[in-house]
Amino acid sequence: MLEKLKLLIQSGNPIISIETTDEQRACELIGRVTEELSRPLNMWSMTRGLRDVNNGIVSDAVLVAGGKALPALEHIQQHSPRSVYLFQDLGPHCKDAHVHRTIRDLIPQLTESNSTLVMVDALPLPDEIRRFVVRFEIGWPDAAELEEVAKNTFRRIRNESLTEVSSDIKRREMEQLVQSLRGLSAADAQRVVASAIYDDFSLTAEDFPRIVESKRTLLGNAGCLESIGADIRLEDVGGLDNLKSWLKQRRGCYSRKAREFGLEPPRGMLMLGVPGCGKSLCAKAVASDWNMPLLRLDPGVLYQKFIGESESQLRQALAQAEAMAPLVLWIDEIEKAFASASASSADGGLSKRMFGTLLSWMQDHRHPIFIIATANDISALPPELMRKGRFDEVFFVDLPNSDAREIVLGIHLKRKKREPADFNLKALAEAAEGFSGAELEQAVIGSLFRAYQAGKPLADEHILEEIGNTRPLSVLSAESVAELRAWAENRCVPAD
């Protein structure tokens, strides 16, 4: 990454744009590049003005007072050649016609003097200036950077703390720690590690759950990715034998041994089905069974009010997933986010652009990421989503049959600390014809309330009464379920 940015500056690109929320890391990278190239570095921000920076030290001479971008840009026209100018959050100022024209006038002067203007922005650049810049992605910190962050954080706390700080991290445990930190910015990784150390003034393998939980909290507060706890085993999912067999065949296919054998890593699967039949549960079970982290892409957070911000959100989410690989990426109810991509819509083509970006990434990425997309109505999505290469397989998850209903009832009774052998599961399953897995779970929960109010132990009669008072989705929306089954009959592989 350092060499790529150095090459862009040496090649004479007048304006380089870096869109990132990890501003500190971007500024440090630019500082190292200019130091290696022996070029003067000047930094501008709205609050601190244009400053001359020598070897990372801010001099006392403030060249241009802060507040306005225009005087700083005009100052560049008389400054020394072969310089690098780092402007922080200049993007919003580019909507001003005077600023925009000044930047346009600067381009030939920067080219002639072999100087470079580097724009570091947290938000996407406006269209007024985007076409005149060269984009550079700093990406997320790689394994080597994260390991250095963890070590430097430990050394800093050990030197500053009045209490003795210890660590017994081995090489393999360090790799596990780095894997837990992947997908975080350098600043966030530093805070997460520091929090774990300050908790007991030590850094050991016992701190890893705390680090994972802190990471989950950070991902939940920003961006479109949410880290999900995967504590469900495949055995805890009733039925779906065909799907389970397919998944077990691909277990371990991301390992080095599998690659040496000649196997291509599995790309993912799409699950279409009746709501409440275990699609979301399967995503958690796959991550748990394959011992991989699970990230959920929330389509609702993707769409933003500012032009260009939605596409930027999606690109950042996908880049973050790549940085955290290997992992399971779960896109829940994908049709709700991209349904308008298959028809005319009033969003100015935003859904089509977003969907196209996602499809291109799914086709071209080479990272160990297993995508699980779930949908309740795939007919609303464009047909190119179904093409081989996007997903390895498309499964249809139907309502559970009698045998599967027995298993599901037994699982939920066991979760409620009841012994399944004490119940007539066969009769209960027959009575629950047309029930989904979620509806069976609610039948068990409702029967527990009935038994508690009656002051009696839970029995078959309570469950049967609850089943009899429930109208399942297969009855309330019989037409929709029949239409869904008819659509999937020759297009999808049965999950059971």
Burial of 172 (0-12, 13-18, 19+ CB in 10 A): exposed
Do 318 and 419 fall within a single domain?
no
Do 216 and 99 fall within a single domain?
no
- Mean predicted confidence (pLDDT) in 179-183: 80
- Mean predicted confidence (pLDDT) in 231-255: 84
Q: With bands split at pLDDT 50, 70 and 90, how would you rate the model's confidence at 318? A: confident
pLDDT at 308: 55
pLDDT at 75: 84
pLDDT at 61: 45
Do 354 and 258 fall within a single domain?
yes
Question: 376 in a domain, yes or no?
Answer: yes
Question: 216 in a domain, yes or no?
Answer: yes
Least confident of 71-75, 136-140, 296-300, 422-426: 296-300
Task: Identify the CATH number of the domain in which residue 13 sits.
Answer: 3.40.50.300
Question: 307 in a domain, yes or no?
Answer: yes
Whether 326 shows a pLDDT value over 70: the answer reads yes
Do 25 and 61 fall within a single domain?
yes
pLDDT at 89: 93
pLDDT at 492: 86
Do 97 and 207 fall within a single domain?
no
- Mean predicted confidence (pLDDT) in 378-393: 74
Beta pairing class for 166-167 and 134-135: unpaired
Whether 223 shows a pLDDT value over 70: the answer reads no
Whether 415 shows a pLDDT value over 80: the answer reads yes
Dist CA 440 CA 276 (whole Å): 10
Q: With bands split at pLDDT 50, 70 and 90, how would you rate the model's confidence at 117? A: very high
Whether 451 shows a pLDDT value over 70: the answer reads yes
Which of residues 135, 161, 181 is at a domain's end? 135
Task: Identify the CATH number of the domain in which residue 458 sits.
Answer: 1.10.8.60
pLDDT at 60: 44
The CA-atom distances, in angstroms, between 440 and each of 17, 240, 468 are 54, 16, 12
Q: With bands split at pLDDT 50, 70 and 90, how would you rate the model's confidence at 349? A: low
Q: Token pair 């009959």 is at which residue? A: 489
Total structural domains within the chain: 4
- Mean predicted confidence (pLDDT) in 45-63: 66
Do 102 and 10 fall within a single domain?
yes
pLDDT at 292: 81
Do 212 and 276 fall within a single domain?
no
What percent of the chain lies above the pLDDT cut of 90? 31
Question: 62 in a domain, yes or no?
Answer: yes
Least confident of 49-58, 199-208, 423-432, 458-467: 49-58
Rounded to 10 degrees, what is the CA torsion of 234, 235, 241, 247? 30
Question: 206 in a domain, yes or no?
Answer: yes
Question: 431 in a domain, yes or no?
Answer: yes
Do 258 and 393 fall within a single domain?
yes
Do 415 and 449 fall within a single domain?
yes
Question: 233 in a domain, yes or no?
Answer: no
Dist CA 93 CA 327 (whole Å): 39
Which of residues 111, 135, 159 is at a domain's end? 135
Do 205 and 335 fall within a single domain?
no
Tens digits of residue pLDDT in 189-215: 898 999 989 988 999 888 887 887 787
Which of residues 89, 113, 135 is at a domain's end? 135
Tens digits of residue pLDDT in 248-290: 898 888 877 888 888 888 889 988 888 888 888 888 888 888 8
Do 178 and 123 fall within a single domain?
no
Instruction: Tell me the pTM.
Output: 0.66
Mean pLDDT, the chain, whole residue set:
84
Q: Which domain holds residue 158?
A: 143-222
Q: With bands split at pLDDT 50, 70 and 90, how would you rate the model's confidence at 172? A: confident
pLDDT at 58: 46
Do 110 and 162 fall within a single domain?
no
What percent of the chain lies above the pLDDT cut of 70? 89
- Mean predicted confidence (pLDDT) in 402-414: 92
Question: 283 in a domain, yes or no?
Answer: yes
